[in-house]
Amino acid sequence: MYTNVWYVAAFGQDLTDAPVLVRMLGADFVLFRDADGKVQCVSNVCPHRGASLADGTLLKDGSLACPFHGWRFDGAGACTLIPSRRDHEVQAVAPGTRVDAYAAQERYGLVWVCVGDDPEAASPIPEIPEWDGDEFRFTQHEEVWEANYHTAKFTNLDYVHLPVVHGIPFRNQQNPTQAPAHQVTVTEYGFTSVMQTVPKASEGVWSTLRDEDRKVESVMKFFVAGMTLRGQVEIGGVGSGVFNMFYEFSTPIDAETTMMRYYFLRNYKREEAFDTEHTRRNLQNIHQDKAIAEAQRPKAAPVGPNPRGIYTHDEDKIMLAYWSLMERMRERGWQIDRDAMITAEHRGELRVIPSPARRHAPDGWVYAEMPRYTGRPASAAAISELSYVDVDALTPTRPADYGSVEPVRPEDPKSNATLEWESAALKVVEQAPTFVQPMIIENAEKAARQRGTNMVTAALLQELQAQQSAGRG
Ligand code: FES
Ligand SMILES: [Fe+2]
């Protein structure tokens, strides 16, 4: 895991008038708003006896009172009052008392925290230009994946999985699973990858968005800050100006678990009623990726690319660009030393992510800082040493349609083909109370898959409803 990254710690709306506990990089933080409403982030462990500050009380002067002995801390990490000795200066009673405080900003409806000691050197927070205009409708979502953040990110930084996992073949080429030619440009803050393809024609409510056989352009941008992936698909076809977009922010909770937050954007069908379908469709893809990621091994985040890993040209260009960004962060001394951390945890010792105050005054803190690598760990390959097979330089030895075999079950009920909804079926869902909508969607999609169809119809919903009432009666 890497320090000195601006991570998304919460949605701004999650921070109201109470402190909020957030776990990032295997450490606990507390977020709160000060008297001016500005977001603040400090280490959650009270330096006095280790109580959880998030269980404390937020006071009107913007300080946070520990739930155990009431010592107060401000957003800058200073201890402002020891109630039992309130007629004395804090530093006279308990010299050195302070807590690590981190740079925090609220932008684009998100709370960003630079988890580390050098926010000036960290990659800047990416711009979300669509946020200020009114062209795009935004919806949001968050969920925890039981997968490490590299694995979680790679489910989307990949083209070949689109046909295999999501049932979206590349139709304008002989091999519908081959990654289309794409350009990967590495920037200082991340990279961009652009490709064009002719996807499968959409059905149901989506069928009117694009003429069949029209080319679609997909632009993926990755930013180190927020581990942000911005996906942009001109869903109406190249030149149509009809865009579907998402921003995916990944925050490592620890080495095995990741908080995934999303903005879904669209500049078509902007009416609120379409949110249900838009979210459903996005979540369907996300949950297909999640199932893959959670079952992948190793469970814990690797400290770098496997020196014996398999890479092929040119479908792994993106992955190599990603690892080179991570390598740059290790070279700056920002990667947490996993081996040293495991040893410290084993001994029951607390380690705190270093804050800017520690960089200026490293001594005298109650808890030691998290160790960081000073060189390359043996289990991580150097990017320059990774080799890959350049398949384009080889002459094919098999026919172009080699391997076309039907599955044993012709209509595989576990098929990942994207499900479509008839407009009439969507109307039925929209009329139901919001809290039951996810259940109706889940049941209907399960039933559709069992029947080997990828279309959810109003008739199917009625049938399920009838079955349910019969079951109740
Ligand atoms: S543990 Fe926080 S004030 Fe004592
Ligand atoms: Fe995916």
- Give me the mean pLDDT over the 334-341 stretch: 96
Q: What ligand has the least distance to the C-alpha of 67?
A: 1
Is 451's pLDDT higher than 60?
yes
> What is the Å distance from ligand 1's center to 76 Cα?
18
**Percentage of residues in the chain with pLDDT exceeding 70?**
95
Predicted pLDDT at 417: 60
Q: What's the burial of 407, exposed, middle or buried (CB within 10 Å: 0-12/13-18/19+)?
A: exposed
* 68 pocket-lining for ligand 1 (C-beta < 6 Å): yes
- Give me the mean pLDDT over the 223-233 stretch: 97
Amino acid at 9: A
**45's tokens:** 């462990």
Query: Quick check: helix, strand or coil at residue 459?
Result: helix
Q: What ligand has the least distance to the C-alpha of 246?
A: 2
From atom 1 of ligand 1, which residue's Cα is the shortest distance away? 49
Q: Which helix (H) or strand (E) holds 346?
A: helix 338-346
pLDDT tens-place string over residues 343-388: 999 999 999 999 999 999 999 999 999 999 999 998 899 998 888 8
Give 324's Cβ-side CA count (13 Å radius).
Answer: 19
Is 209's pLDDT higher than 80?
no
pLDDT tens-place string over residues 268-326: 999 988 898 899 889 999 999 999 999 999 999 999 999 899 998 888 889 999 999 99
Euclidean distance between CA atoms 453 and 449, whole angstroms: 6
Task: For each of the domains in the chain, give its residue range(s) and CATH number, in order of start.
Answer: 5-115 (2.102.10.10), 129-317 (3.90.380.10), 420-472 (1.10.8)
DSSP assignment of 12-50 equals: GGG-SSS-EEEEETTEEEEEEE-TTS-EEEEESB-TTT-
> Contact, 261 vs 273, CB < 8 A?
no
pLDDT tens-place string over residues 117-139: 999 999 999 999 999 999 999 99
Query: Quick check: helix, strand or coil at residue 289?
Result: helix
Instruction: Show the CA angle centred on residue 191, arms to residues 190 and 193, nearest 5°.
Output: 155
Per-residue CA distances from 69 to 60, 85, 91, 170, 458 (Å): 18, 11, 16, 63, 60
- Of 19-28, 123-132, 197-206, 460-469, which range is least confident? 197-206
- Give me the mean pLDDT over the 85-103 stretch: 97
DSSP state of 118: -
Predicted pLDDT at 411: 55
pLDDT tens-place string over residues 196-208: 887 766 666 666 6
> What is the Å distance from ligand 1's center to 88 Cα?
17
Predicted pLDDT at 205: 60
Predicted pLDDT at 207: 65
> What is the Å distance from ligand 2's center to 196 Cα?
17
Residue 66: pLDDT band (50, 70, 90) is very high
| Atom of ligand 1 at shortest range from CA of 53 | 2
Predicted pLDDT at 203: 63
- Sheet strands (E) in 314-372: 351-352, 368-369
Task: Pick the more confident residue, 413 or 437.
Answer: 437
- Sheet strands (E) in 255-387: 257-266, 312-313, 351-352, 368-369
Is 454's pLDDT higher than 50?
yes
- Give me the mean pLDDT over the 28-50 stretch: 98
* 48 pocket-lining for ligand 1 (C-beta < 6 Å): yes
- Give me the mean pLDDT over the 319-348 stretch: 95
* 51 pocket-lining for ligand 1 (C-beta < 6 Å): yes
pLDDT tens-place string over residues 426-450: 888 888 888 888 888 888 888 887 8
Predicted pLDDT at 414: 47
> What is the Å distance from ligand 1's center to 65 Cα?
9
Q: How far apart are the first and last CA of the chain?
A: 55
- Give me the mean pLDDT over the 450-471 stretch: 86
Is 23's pLDDT higher than 80?
yes
Least Cα distance to 184 among 220, 147, 144 occurs for: 220
Exposure letters 170-194 (e unless 16+ CB within 10 A, then b): beeeeeeeebeebebeeeebbbbbe
Query: Quick check: helix, strand or coil at residue 362?
Result: coil
Predicted pLDDT at 415: 55
Is 194's pLDDT higher than 50?
yes
Query: Quick check: helix, strand or coil at residue 420?
Result: strand
| Atom of ligand 1 at shortest range from CA of 70 | 3
Is 249's pLDDT higher than 50?
yes
* 79 pocket-lining for ligand 1 (C-beta < 6 Å): no
Residue 4: pLDDT band (50, 70, 90) is very high
Mean pLDDT of the chain: 92
Instruction: Please state, as a whole number, how many other Cβ atoms lie within 10 Å of the Cβ of residue 14.
Output: 13
pLDDT tens-place string over residues 290-300: 999 999 999 99
Q: What ligand has the least distance to the C-alpha of 48?
A: 1
> Contact, 338 vs 148, CB < 8 A?
no
What are the phi and psi torsion angles at 341 (to 5°)? -65, -40
> What is the Å distance from ligand 2's center to 259 Cα?
16
Is 168's pLDDT higher than 90?
no
Euclidean distance between CA atoms 2 and 465, whole angstroms: 50
Task: Pick the more confident residue, 73 or 212.
Answer: 73
- Of 95-104, 111-120, 410-419, which range is least confident? 410-419
- Of 58-62, 109-113, 124-128, 444-448, which range is least confident? 444-448
Predicted pLDDT at 81: 98
Q: What ligand has the least distance to the C-alpha of 286?
A: 2
Query: Quick check: helix, strand or coil at residue 43?
Result: strand
* 388 pocket-lining for ligand 1 (C-beta < 6 Å): no
* 246 pocket-lining for ligand 1 (C-beta < 6 Å): no
